[in-house]
Amino acid sequence: MHAGSMQKAVVLVSGGLDSATTLAIAKSAGYACYALSFAYGQRHSAELTAAARVAEVLGAVEHKIIALDLSSIGGSALTDMHIAVPDHPSAGIPVTYVPARNSIFLAVSLGWAEVLGAQDIFIGVNAVDYSGYPDCRPEFIAAFERLASLGTGAGAAGKPFHIHAPLMRFSKVDIIRRGMALGVDYSLTISCYAADRQGHACGVCDSCRLRRRGFVEAGIPDPTAYR
Amino acid sequence: MHAGSMQKAVVLVSGGLDSATTLAIAKSAGYACYALSFAYGQRHSAELTAAARVAEVLGAVEHKIIALDLSSIGGSALTDMHIAVPDHPSAGIPVTYVPARNSIFLAVSLGWAEVLGAQDIFIGVNAVDYSGYPDCRPEFIAAFERLASLGTGAGAAGKPFHIHAPLMRFSKVDIIRRGMALGVDYSLTISCYAADRQGHACGVCDSCRLRRRGFVEAGIPDPTAYR
């Protein structure tokens, strides 16, 4: 089908495993995908390079990177160099939680969706392996969907928005299996919270640990480049 | 009272009349105010200069300007130089509506509030003279309040957020009278959608029209510098 006649969707793409799988799912569902990433003051730019690769290889119509300096707000190990990324699982909400990050990312996605005439937004959040992040819960996604339809011209005109979180109930193994079935090349993705400039993963942070275990449990060779 | 013992609030300050009044109201209610503005690709930087003046004069503890380039998304006369600011009122949602702007601004405010340990956010939206913007309605504010408590660590820990929109039911005359009573110097503020570099107002856009009529109806000399 020609891209011009397909329904458009904005897909949040971080460069990690989950969002790459989400993009592949949106594509396979027939959407013309507009990939959105943020330069938000994260520790390493390797993930933005990965996001660009993922968007291209998985056939996004366009990939936009928006600069938004959340490090000036601070409060997270992912954006504040003074807070160390932990090398062991933590109780409660981890220090890698970026305050209100998914609210912010979804709000900007919503703005772009409205300009594009899209009513669908995809985000790779996950309530199973979500490491305690409050903005990865189904109730949060439902609340944003309601906000989206109330706070936009399109919504006010009777065109509601749909926030798709297709990985919500998936385990990491489920995600990897689904992505492999859709042909995702996970060697392009970076999940590590503390990757180096070359994109090599640390292997010990929460995110690396979950990803590594996912490949082992799925019985699939882990394509991650560790340092 | 010492600022350290006061409750903190994040206040969105644009440099315009409404948000200056909102800041004065938050201050008079006893909050230690943290003013937040955005360099979002708006047509003129005069309003950010005005925001900084307003924050200082009205005694904000801190004023932060966050860069977020919404012009790369486009879709509004306020951020896209190819769309003209109209000099007459329009039917429906005006072209000066910036898609999802208040969702985006509130989401970033929420992130800062969580880092500060604040549970209160003030925004100067108004449903009376709101010119048809969907993200200025009470239902929108209520939906954001719900989202805020679901999507944050503080909210998940039982500390809900309150989104204050004290001007919601005010006419422009009410706003001006309230601000004057609180000592707001409106000559510091810029409301015009098409101000020049020196901050001189056009006098004909929707925003100028509403503001000018407000001063006339309030019986107060209009301190606006028109070009």
Which comes out higher in pLDDT, residue A98 or B92? Answer: A98
Mutation pick from B82, B96, B103 vs chain A, by most beta carbons of A within 10 Å, is B103
**Mean pLDDT score of chain A, rounded to an integer?**
88
Q: Contact B173/B218 with Cβ under 8 angstroms? A: yes
Q: What is the pLDDT of residues B182-199, one digit of tens each?
A: 999 999 999 888 888 888
Which residue of chain B comes nearest to A72, CA vs CA?
Answer: B66
For residue B121, give the 3-state DSSP assignment: strand
Average per-residue pLDDT in chain B?
Answer: 88
Give A76-97 pLDDT, tens digit per residue.
666 665 666 666 555 566 666 6
Looking up tokens 């209520």 gives B142
pLDDT level of residue B52 (50, 70, 90 thresholds): very high
Whether B59 is covered by a domain: the verdict is: yes
What's the Cα-to-Cα distance from B165 to each of A110, B25, B155, rounded to whole Å?
22, 10, 19
Is A118's pLDDT higher than 90?
yes
Beta strands B8-12; B162-164: pairing state: unpaired
Residue of A66, A135, A146 lying closest to B151 (CB–CB) = A135
Give A164-181 pLDDT, tens digit per residue: 999 999 999 999 999 999
Tell me if B66 and A68 make a contact (CB, 8 A cut-off). Answer: yes
Per-residue model confidence as pLDDT tens digits over A35-55: 999 998 776 788 899 999 999
Domain-located, residue B44: yes
Predicted complex ipTM: 0.88
User: Looking at CA atoms only, how far is residue B10 from chain A in angstroms?
Assistant: 12
Average pLDDT, stretch B108-125?
A: 95
Q: Are B144 and B134 in contact (CB under 8 A)?
A: no
> Which chain A residues contact residue B108 at CB under 8 A?
68, 70, 73, 100, 104
Note down the domain range covering A208. Answer: 3-218
In angstroms, rounded to a whole number, what is the distance separating the alpha carbons of residues B199 and A204? 53
Contact B103 A147 (CB under 8 A): yes
User: Which pLDDT score is estimated for B117?
Assistant: 93
Question: What local confidence, expressed as pLDDT, does residue A40 receive?
Answer: 84
Q: Which of B8, B40, B90, B150 to mutate to test the interface with A (most CBs of A within 10 A)?
A: B150
DSSP 3-state assignment of B32? strand
pLDDT of residue A33: 98
On chain A, the residues whose CB falls within 8 A of the CB of B156 are: 93, 134
Residues in chain B: 227
Q: Is the pLDDT of residue B2 over 60?
A: no
Instruction: Tell me whether B61 touches chain A (CB under 8 Å).
Output: no
Q: What CATH number is associated with residue A11?
A: 3.40.50.620
Asked if B160 is an interface residue toward chain A (Cβ–Cβ < 8 A), one would say no
**Residue B89 pLDDT > 60, yes or no?**
no
Asked if the structure places residue A35 within a domain, the reply is yes
State what percent of residues in chain B have pLDDT above 90: 63
A9-24: average pLDDT: 97
B57 located within any domain = yes
* Residue A129: φ, ψ to 5°: -100, 35
Residue B226 covered by a domain: no
DSSP state of B17: H
Select the residue of B93, B110, B140 nearest A150 (Cβ to Cβ).
B140
Q: What is the pTM of this model?
A: 0.90
Q: Does B144 touch chain A (CB under 8 A)?
A: yes
Percent of chain A whose predicted confidence (pLDDT) is above 90? 63
The amino acid at residue A20 is A
Instruction: Evaluate if residue B148 carries a pLDDT over 80.
Output: yes
User: CA A30, CA A55: separation in Å to the nearest integer?
Assistant: 15
Q: How many CB atoms lie within 10 A of CB A180?
A: 15
For residues B50 and B42, the answer to whether their CB atoms sit within 8 Å is: no
**Backbone angles phi and psi of A173, in degrees to 5:** -60, -45
* Higher-scoring residue by pLDDT: A77, B35: B35
pLDDT at A86: 63
The number of folded domains in chain B is 1
Short-list B123, B148, B145, B146, CA closest to B136: B123
The pLDDT, as a whole number, for residue B153 is 84
Mean pLDDT score, A134-160: 90
> Which of B40, B22, B36 minimizes the C-alpha distance to B98?
B40
Give A220→chain B minimum CA distance, Å. 34
Q: Is B18 left (phi over 0), alpha (psi -120 to 50) or beta?
A: alpha
Would residue A46 count as lying in a domain? Answer: yes
Closest of A84, A144, A108 to residue B147, by C-alpha: A144
What residues in A contact B115, CB-CB < 8 Å? 73-75, 99
Residue A227 lies in a domain: no
Is B4's pLDDT higher than 80?
A: no
Average pLDDT for residues B89-93, to the nearest whole number? 58
* CA-based nearest residue in chain B for residue A64: B72
Q: How many CB atoms lie within 10 A of CB A87?
A: 13
Q: Examine residue B213 and state whether it is found in any structural domain, yes or no.
A: yes
Which pLDDT tens digit goes with each residue over B42-51?
767 888 999 9
Instruction: Write down the pLDDT at residue A3.
Output: 54
Phi, psi of A113 (to 5 degrees): -60, -45
Residue A71 has pLDDT above 90, yes or no: no
pLDDT bin (cut points 50, 70, 90) of residue A131 is low
Q: Does B193 touch chain A (CB under 8 A)?
A: no
The predicted structure's pLDDT at residue A42: 73
Minimal Cα–Cα distance from B40 to chain A, Å? 10
Is the pLDDT confidence value at B9 over 70? yes
Chain A partners within 8 Å of B68 (Cβ)? 66-68, 108
**Cβ–Cβ contact B75 with A under 8 A:** yes
- Residues of chain A contacting B155 with CB distance shorter than 8 Å: 134
Residues B58-73 have pLDDT tens digits of 999 999 999 888 888 8
Alpha carbon distance B5, B94 (integer Å):
43
